[in-house]
Amino acid sequence: MSLLLLVLFCQVMASADFFAHQAPCELELEELRRSVRMLENTLLIGAWKIDHMRRHKHFGLPQPSMNQSDPAPDSNPKTNPHRNTTEEFERVPQNPHPTAGNLIVHDKDCSELYDRLRPVSGFYRIRPRATLEPFLAYCDMEDGGGWTVIQRRRHGRVNFNRDWVDYRDGFGEFKLWNDEFWLGNELIHSLLEEGENLMKIDLTDWTGKKSHAMYNNFRVADEKDKYRLSFGQYSGRAGDALSGGSNMVEQWSASQAGMYFSTRDQDNDRFLQGSCAQENQGGWWYNRCHAANLNGKFYRGGEYKAKFDNGVVWGTWKGLWYSLRHTTMKVRPQLFLDSSLGSGAGPDG
């Protein structure tokens, strides 16, 4: 019996000695795992930065190394007429632009970004679906906050008379607060395909007067359905131009509810005698043709004369022969509401 107890005692002591040696190893392994995870995160962030700068041309010119013992080049054209001006330019430090927005994408749209961080307005990366690559979008964090901007007209430097592929993929400039762009029908569809969304259209005339129109349940179908437009109830002060106007005749010919998207190279409108997109010089949800044409030709000064009413038009506010100075189309979930900042009706509402 005593021999059996002695054997058991030895086994217990051996096991205790084994675990005593194992504990430090487990701690070292866990520390190693943490280090690997931190390294992976660092590499991921670095990869995002490189990809972002490559996509948006934020690399400066390479800086040639200069030995301190080398004499400074003579920049006087009289004493050194053969100096290399290109080399001098390359020696000037080139400051790359700062990267825009969040590098690791957490948010499917600007409303989620607003709820998470309360950032200022600017360009940020969003990702409406996990199957989509993240992309830059302008987030309007004022006027109630959380707006994803899909269209903006400011100065007329960007041509909006483009082909189907351009409107599908998006075009314009995505750097400054006043850049003009169309986000792209495919991305707009991905933003609006889930839930109910509110569209707000901000309008400014050439005297600085502002107005707006809002539509609930705003949707854009996919490319198979030619990005068909649908929307719900109107509210605002600029008039319901998307529905075509106030009377049935105008609505029959100009309502954009249920209309396919048309461009100059893909005529999907109901105008049998011609192409609305070609006449109005923009891509839009034309009927026969329109009472709103926010992607039309940019005329300066307001009132314009042309063969067709093809300006940047919101007919129920300024008429078909007045081309607006600024327009913005922006969306967010219909249930989004920040009580501290307002409803999104804007200063004129």
Instruction: Report the distance separating Cα 150 and Cα 181, nearest Å.
Output: 8
What was the pLDDT predicted at 157?
96
- Say how many C-beta atoms besides its own lie within 10 A of residue 158's C-beta: 17
**Residue 247's pLDDT is what?**
75
Torsion angle in degrees (nearest 10) through CA of 126, 219, 326, 117: -30
Q: What residues pair up with 140 in beta bridges, in sequence order? A: 147
Beta bridge partners of residue 152, listed in sequence order: 181, 328
Segment of 76-80, 106-110, 322-326 carrying the highest mean pLDDT:
322-326
Phi, psi of 141 (to 5 degrees): -95, 10
Give the CA distances from residue 236 to residues 145, 203, 287, in Å, rounded to whole numbers and listed in that order. Answer: 18, 11, 23
The CATH architecture of the domain made up of 100-333 is Alpha-Beta Complex (3.90)
For residue 319, the one-letter residue type is G
Instruction: Tell me the one-letter amino acid at 223.
Output: E
Number of residues assigned to the chain = 349
Using CA atoms of 151, 343, 322, 138 in order, give the dihedral in degrees to the nearest 10. Answer: -20
Structure tokens at 280: 């109005």
Q: Whole-prediction pTM value?
A: 0.70
Q: For residues 185 and 168, is the Cβ–Cβ distance under 8 A? A: yes
Structure tokens that stand for 131 in this block: 């199957």
Backbone angles phi, psi at 119, to 5 degrees: -80, 175
Q: CB burial class (10 A; 0-12, 13-18, 19+) of residue 38?
A: exposed
The per-residue pLDDT for range 25-39, each reduced to its tens digit, is: 777 776 776 676 667
Alpha-carbon distance of 159 to 295, in angstroms, equals 9
Q: What is the pLDDT of residues 226-276, one digit of tens each?
A: 999 999 999 999 999 999 987 766 788 899 999 999 999 999 999 999 999
